[in-house]
Amino acid sequence: MIDWQNYPLTLSVSHVADILRIGKNSSYELFHRKDFPAVRIGKNFRVSRDAFRRWLEGQGEAQKNTR
């Protein structure tokens, strides 16, 4: 279970990689997806912790609907 309070309000590529247990390159690919709620600030990408959580939960719902 993810303890969301242990993460900052805005998540970096490394935070998302840690949460999803994926590599940093895979996390960067995720940040470039059109359906992912990321923003670019200079050369850095960030995603709101709450927006990421909603997106992640939505992915689970999408998986249920395709079965």
Left if phi > 0, otherwise alpha if psi is -120 to 50, otherwise beta: which for 5? alpha
Fold of 8-65: Molybdopterin biosynthesis moea protein, domain 2 (3.90.105)
- pLDDT block averages, 10 residues each, the chain of length 67: 92 97 97 96 96 91 65
pLDDT at 1: 83
Say what the pTM is. Answer: 0.85
Q: Which of 6, 24, 11 is nearest to 50 (CA)?
A: 11
**Domain coordinates of the chain in residue numbers?**
8-65
- Calpha distance 49→53 (Å, rounded): 6
pLDDT at 14: 97
Q: CB neighbours (10 Å) of residue 4?
A: 11
